[in-house]
Amino acid sequence: MAIVTSSSRRSADQHLTLAGIRARFDTILTRDDVTHCKPSPDLYLLAAERLRVKPQACVAIEDSNHGVTAAHAAGAITLMVPDMIPPTEETRAKCAAVLPDLNAALAMLRERGAL
């Protein structure tokens, strides 16, 4: 699993460590790792490369319109769990599903055999 975030490396590491989940991820990619950040697909393409899988085999769970644009452009199966800003109609069209929370995303992945 990978984290793909528009946050800085320092911020991402701090938040993941505070949450106690830093060690759960094989790869953590931040805006510091690419020239073009979201909505460019660069972070997602790099994550797939690091995980040694095709982007089309990846499921991206995003919380923002820019993030959905990036994941979709990379070719990932995209789920959205909106944060502060609801998805636009254009964003909804790029998603396999828009879900109310991470528990719903986890349930969907388990139901479909992705976990």
pTM for this model (two decimals): 0.93
Give the tens place of pLDDT for each residue, 5-27.
Answer: 999 999 999 999 999 999 999 89
- In order of start, what are the domains of the chain with their CATH numbers? 2-111 (3.40.50.1000)
Confidence bin at 3 (pLDDT 50/70/90): very high
DSSP 56-100: GG-EEEESSHHHHHHHHHHT-EEEE---SSPPPHHHHHT-SEE-S
Read off the pLDDT of each residue in 15-42 and give the average, rounded to a whole number: 96
Q: In whole angstroms, how far apart are CA 90 and each of 2, 33, 57, 72, 77?
A: 25, 27, 23, 11, 16
Nearest to 31 by CA among 53, 10, 56, 1: 10
Give the tens place of pLDDT for each residue, 50-103.
Answer: 999 999 999 999 999 999 999 999 999 999 999 999 999 999 999 999 999 999
Confidence bin at 113 (pLDDT 50/70/90): confident
Dist CA 100 CA 79 (whole Å): 11
